[in-house]
């Protein structure tokens, strides 16, 4: 079975969040299970692209509206990524240093999707399944079936995977002329509330869709930025498959990015060494419980509550907790955190920006990881944390609810709260502090956490089972 994963992020080529981690791991695990899984993504002006060898495998061109666009497809088949990778370059659109943040992302992702279809059509590439990831490639299921140029590809099955339903790729109908010419009477399959909505189009036109956890699938019918009724309507082809973690990259026993490797047998001393070195590096005392936040400064992540949590906690003259924050995004959130940092340092340390190595060090060094998400399709941070013996303190939503069991329950190994409020986070932090004072109990949950199996093997097989269902 040949599968193409189509995505605009893939670790280690270009990563902004969990989408990259999934697309950088899932195909590798699928290949181990005998599936010919490949990744196609845009060409980015990134260090990885310049420091590795790529060869040109195809060239072509097409009109996007009145503009003629040329594309080049590069392959990196002999990579050590564990799967063949193809990059599509379109000068002016798919040749930029960052994945997101340009004013013309609709045009960018349209160019990507059109170039991809043009390439596979003209080079006789016929995957059995195209697994599209998120709204950037959400028009593929529609374009395969409803365009003059690509009807020959209509038999290819599509699985659309939703990593984040908050972003839908809305574009004004005046951009409709940029699409390859389509059956105009089918416009309704593109439209949602008067705009072209790639996510809604994908849900309607794909053969099946999946979310990255069961919990999130259930939540989308209640909260999906206007698409709730669509998710109710199309539920018959919905599947929830929880993400895994790539143990080649996220394993404290052999992670080259952390100071001291450890296993569940040596976790106590291993984490202590990592914590001491890390705290010295970021300027924190190392004799308190270390709680860490890693992630995008975004509303859905609940990052806007962090500054209030800090003010509330430290204004009570509490001094048995240190907090490390690693993230970037909303400038207002960053400013508020900066103010708290100036007031409470050295109890708090922050790093504004994206730093993969620092994230690994922080997972290894921290005692607790905080995820106060409003919405969490799966969440990878808690899965990485668990593997590193770092206890998750999370809001019980989406994938967090599916993967973290509170210590008050049988087999629990984390701290879960439900209300999105400073009080609720504060009392849960205090619960974690009290628990950590009982050294034996803490060491039991640490070991329990590390023994959990969130590797990709099981979930990669579930994707394959789903492809097989589509091909029946």
Residues of span 58-117 touching ligand ADP by CB under 6 A: none
The residue within the footprint of ligand ADP, chosen from 308, 355, 421, 424 (CB under 6 A), is 355
Contacts with 151 (C-beta within 8 Å, 6 or more apart), sequence order:
145
Burial of residue 311 (CB within 10 Å: 0-12, 13-18, 19+) is: middle
Binding segment for ligand ADP (CB under 6 A), chosen from 201-209, 214-222, 289-297, 447-455, is: 289-297
Which residue, 309 or 394, is less far from ligand ADP as judged by CB?
Answer: 394
Q: How far is the CB of 400 from ligand ADP (least distance, A)?
A: 9
Among 338, 334, 452, which Cα is nearest to 387's?
A: 452
Q: Which region, judged by CB under 6 A, interacts with ligand ADP, from 11-19, 80-88, 135-143, 153-161?
A: 11-19
CB of 359 to ligand ADP, least distance (A): 4
List, in order, residues 6 or more apart from 65 with CB less than 8 Å away. Answer: 177, 178
Per CB under 6 A, which region of 37-45, 146-154, 325-333, 421-429 contacts ligand ADP? 325-333
Q: Is the dihedral of CA 195, 303, 338, 274 positive or negative?
A: negative
Q: How far is the C-alpha of 302 from the C-alpha of 305, rounded, in Å? A: 6
What would the two tokens of residue 300 be?
Answer: 């859905």
Question: Where are the strands (E) in 110-168, listed by range?
Answer: 129-133, 157-162
Least distance from ligand ADP to the Cβ atom of residue 337, Å: 12
- Is 295 an interacting residue with respect to ligand ADP (CB under 6 A)? yes
The reply on whether position 215 binds ligand ADP by CB under 6 A is no
Distance CA 37, CA 130 (A): 10
Residue nearest to ligand ADP (CB): 18
Nearer to ligand ADP, 23 or 378 (CB): 378
Smallest separation, CB 287 to ligand ADP (Å)? 26
Q: Residue 28: helix, strand or coil by DSSP?
A: helix
Q: Which two tokens stand for residue 325?
A: 């924050």
Q: How far apart are CA 424 and CA 427, in angstroms?
A: 5
CB of 35 to ligand ADP, least distance (A): 23
Instruction: For residue 410, count other CB atoms closer than 10 A to its CB.
Output: 5
How many whole angstroms separate alpha carbon 165 and alpha carbon 231? 11
Coil vs helix vs strand at 175: helix
Query: Per CB under 6 A, which region of 18-26, 71-79, 177-185, 272-280 contacts ligand ADP?
Result: 18-26
Residue with smaller CB distance to ligand ADP, 146 or 334: 334
CB of 42 to ligand ADP, least distance (A): 18
Contacts of 451 (CB under 8 A, 6+ apart): 264
Minimum CB distance to ligand ADP, residue 372 (Å)? 13
144 near ligand ADP, judged by CB under 6 A: no
Asked if residue 225 binds ligand ADP (CB under 6 A), the reply is no
Question: Does the footprint of ligand ADP cover residue 354 (CB under 6 A)?
Answer: yes
Minimum distance, C-beta of residue 326 to ligand ADP, in the bound complex (Å): 5
Q: Pick the stretch among 44-52, 277-285, 307-315, 354-362 that binds ligand ADP (CB under 6 A).
A: 354-362
**Helices 422-437 and 439-451, interaxial angle, to 10°?**
110
C-alpha distances in Å from residue 333, one per residue of 147, 290, 358, 397: 44, 21, 20, 22
Strand order across the beta sheet in which 321-329 lies: 348-352, 321-329, 289-297, 368-371, 391-395, 415-417
Q: Which is nearer to ligand ADP, 247 or 470 (CB)?
A: 247
Quote the radius of gyration of the chain (alpha carbons, Å): 23
- For ligand ADP, which residue of 13, 153, 179, 359 counts as binding (CB under 6 A)? 359
- CB-nearer residue toward ligand ADP: 2 or 28: 28
Residues in region 365-404 near ligand ADP by CB under 6 A: 378-381
> C-beta of 18: minimal distance to ligand ADP in Å?
2
DSSP 8-state symbol, 414: B
Question: Near ligand ADP by CB under 6 A, which window of 95-103, 200-208, 293-301, 309-317?
Answer: 293-301
Task: State which of residues 234, 266, 308, 328 lies at the interface with ligand ADP (CB under 6 A).
Answer: 328
The residues of the shown chain that bind ligand ADP, judged by CB under 6 A, are 17-19, 21, 294-296, 326-328, 354-356, 359, 378-381
């Amino acid at each position: 079975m040949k599968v193409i994963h189509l995505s605009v992020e893939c670790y280690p080529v270009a990563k902004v969040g969990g989408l990259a981690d999934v697309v950088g791991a899932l195909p590798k695990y699928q290949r181990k299970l005998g599936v010919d899984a490949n990744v196609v993504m845009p060409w980015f002006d990134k260090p990885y692209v310049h420091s590795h060898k790529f060869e040109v495998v195809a060239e072509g061109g097409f009109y996007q509206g009145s503009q003629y666009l040329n594309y080049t497809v590069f392959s990196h088949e002999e990579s050590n990524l564990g799967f063949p990778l193809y990059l599509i370059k379109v000068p002016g659109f798919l040749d930029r240093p960052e994945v997101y943040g340009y004013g013309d992302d609709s045009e960018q992702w349209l160019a990507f999707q059109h170039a991809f279809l043009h390439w596979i059509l003209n080079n006789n590439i016929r995957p059995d399944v195209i697994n599209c990831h998120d709204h950037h490639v959400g028009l593929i299921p529609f374009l395969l079936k409803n365009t003059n140029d690509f009807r020959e590809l209509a038999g290819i099955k599509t699985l659309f995977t939703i990593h984040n339903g908050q972003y839908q790729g809305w574009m004004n109908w005046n951009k409709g002329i940029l699409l390859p010419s389509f059956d105009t009477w089918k416009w309704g399959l593109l439209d949602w509330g008067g705009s072209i909505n790639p996510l809604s189009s994908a849900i309607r036109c794909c053969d099946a869709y999946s979310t990255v956890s069961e919990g999130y699938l259930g939540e989308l019918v209640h909260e999906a930025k206007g698409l709730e009724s669509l998710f109710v309507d199309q539920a018959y082809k919905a599947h929830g498959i929880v993400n895994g973690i790539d143990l080649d990259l996220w394993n404290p026993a052999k992670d080259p990015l952390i100071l001291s490797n450890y296993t569940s047998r040596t976790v106590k001393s291993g984490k202590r060494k990592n914590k001491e070195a890390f705290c010295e590096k970021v300027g924190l005392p190392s004799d308190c419980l270390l709680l860490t936040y890693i992630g995008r400064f975004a509303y859905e992540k609940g990052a806007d509550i962090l500054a209030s949590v800090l003010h509330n906690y430290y204004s009570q003259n509490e001094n048995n907790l240190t907090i490390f924050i690693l993230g970037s995004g909303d400038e207002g959130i960053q400013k508020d955190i900066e103010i708290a940092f100036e007031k409470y340092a050295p109890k708090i340390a922050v790093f504004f920006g994206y730093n993969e190595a620092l994230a690994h060090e922080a997972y290894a060094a921290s005692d607790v990881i905080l995820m106060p998400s409003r919405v969490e399709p799966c969440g990878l941070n808690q899965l990485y944390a668990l593997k590193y013996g770092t206890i998750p303190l999370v809001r019980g939503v989406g994938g967090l609810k599916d993967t973290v069991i509170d210590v008050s329950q049988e087999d629990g190994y984390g701290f879960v709260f439900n209300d999105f409020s400073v009080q609720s986070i504060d009392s849960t932090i205090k619960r974690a502090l009290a628990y950590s004072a009982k050294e034996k109990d803490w060491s039991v949950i640490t070991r329990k956490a590390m023994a959990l199996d969130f590797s990709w093997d099981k979930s990669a097989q579930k994707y394959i089972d789903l492809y097989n269902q589509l091909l029946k």
